[in-house]
Structure 1
Amino acid sequence: MKSAAFLVSASLLLSGAAQAAELTVAVAANFAAPMQKIAAAFEKETGHKLALSFGGTGKFYAQIRNGAPFEVLLAADDETPARLEQEGQGVAGTRFTYAIGKLVLWSRQPGLVDDQGEVLRSGAFERIALADPKLAPYGAAAMQTLQKLDLAEALSGKFVQGESIGQAYQFVATRNAPLGFVALSQVFAEGLLTEGSAWRVPETLYEPIRQDALILARGRDNPAASALMRYLQGDAARAIIGAYGYGF
């Protein structure tokens, strides 16, 4: 009996190992912190393994078009996944919005950024960081905000642009820029500011930052890809996503 039970247990273990798969995922820079937590929980629950790459959505688009071996894309916008799907680089019907991003004006210096964003009108700073509006959705949102405030032209000489929101964040984090527009998720956790001072930019000042996920053509037959998409829409992942200030 013990021998039979052992064989059954071994069979189940081998079956689970056979079903586990590895998945390469391109993740928008703003989503790095929550995705690392989600990945750990996902791997523990499913047995699948994730290889995560973080970067700018615009750069990922070019890499995917040039044959980069990504199987899933978690973008910082909804336009890039839609374009990849239309171009045959993604699996039709797998695209959905996994998070709605929020923009924040942030400084590592306490008290520099007030809770109404009036520091922008004072101009009492040498540089302001933002992601490239042509490449990064959060950069586009920052420009929309400044244009609606009628400050884009006045502050243009102080812009320090990064390729992605991750680089824009680094400019401020390393104090190469005293303040900058970054993703809320980069500086808030569990509803609290992690450091410095910040202004949550009203969502009326920029278009919604809908962040879409897509299974790419290379991930079509990978069971871990569909499993991850289901997991991102479940309660466990959404709790993590919400804790970093994202909407749905």
Structure 2
Amino acid sequence: MTQSRRTLVVGNWKMHGSHAANEQLLEALKAAGPLPADAAVCVPFPYLAQAAERLARTAFAWGAQDCSQHEQGAYTGEVSAPMLADFGCRYVIVGHSERRALHAESDQLVADKAKAALAKGITPIVCVGETLAQREAGETEAVVKRQLSAVIHTLAHCAGEMVVAYEPVWAIGTGRTASPEQAQQVHALLRAQLAAATPRAAQMQILYGGSVKPDNAVELFAKADIDGGLIGGASLKAADFLAICRAARV
């Protein structure tokens, strides 16, 4: 990444955790001391209060893994951006590939969720990424540009306020990782697309997600357009997550 952008490392706990296990993990994060990167954890909804209480007045921000596009109403099981704001959430993940696949979330729905989050002062982390079949068919560029385009058009002049995360679907939870060169190529493409839409593109953080670990984080974060990571499994282990945070260049 460039020196003009701080590295951001966000842990995505997915559907993991318990009150007791979280307590150990959060306490370990609290004890870490200063970090060279901005850091946050996005936790399951039931544990937002626990994360907010334990991480208050620390270097860590907290967030959620999804939000509704609606502010309120008869939407049983949904959680709105105003509710997340009540917990002091700074971030919310929208458009993760698991939600696109398992819940059939469309590009436009993801864009609407990002807009709802921003309206309440929460930074959306907008995920884009291709499947293995799409990569092998040479469709990576078209897929990620289509996914990001919907968000850019919906957010309009606010597009520069989001964080983007490139997560190749074939590298999530598989142990496979895009090479730093492959990841940088897509990150540069996304930044160019953002540059055509907002003057803030050069300052925007674009994260890489997909089996990021302590042993590959330094090389990934060294690339010009990779500004940090959206971390899955490794964020559940304090030592690994902190090692990734410390891989950031000061």
Which TM-score band applies after superposition, normalised by the shorter structure?
under 0.3
| Higher gyration radius (CA) | 1
Q: Which has the higher strand share?
A: 1
TM-score, scaled relative to structure 1: 0.27
TM-score (normalizing by structure 2): 0.26
